[in-house]
Amino acid sequence: MDHGCRLCELAMARERTLIAIKPDGVQRGLVAEILGRFERKGFTLVGLKLLTPSRALAEQHYGVHRERPFFGGLVEFITSGPVVAMVWEGEGVIATARVLIGATKPLEAAPGSIRGDLAVDIGRNVVHGSDGPDTARFEIGLWFQPEELSTWTPADQCWRTES
Which spans of this chain sit near Mg ion (rule: CB under 5 A)? 131
74 binds ligand IDP (CB under 6 A): yes
Is residue 3 among the annotated active site residues? Answer: no
Among the residues of 20-155, which ranges form H helices?
23-27, 31-41, 55-61, 71-78, 93-101, 114-118, 133-143
123 binds ligand IDP (CB under 6 A): yes
Cβ-Cβ contacts under 8 Å for 76 (sequence gap 6 or more): none
How many chain residues interact with ligand IDP (CB under 6 A)? 9
Among 16, 37, 61, 128, binds ligand IDP (CB under 6 A): 128
Among 32, 55, 70, 132, binds ligand IDP (CB under 6 A): 70
Q: What is the CA radius of gyration of the chain?
A: 16
* Rounded distance between C-alpha atoms, residue 103 and residue 111, angstroms: 10
Residues that bind ligand IDP in the complex, under the rule CB under 6 A: 65, 70, 74, 104, 122-123, 125, 128, 131
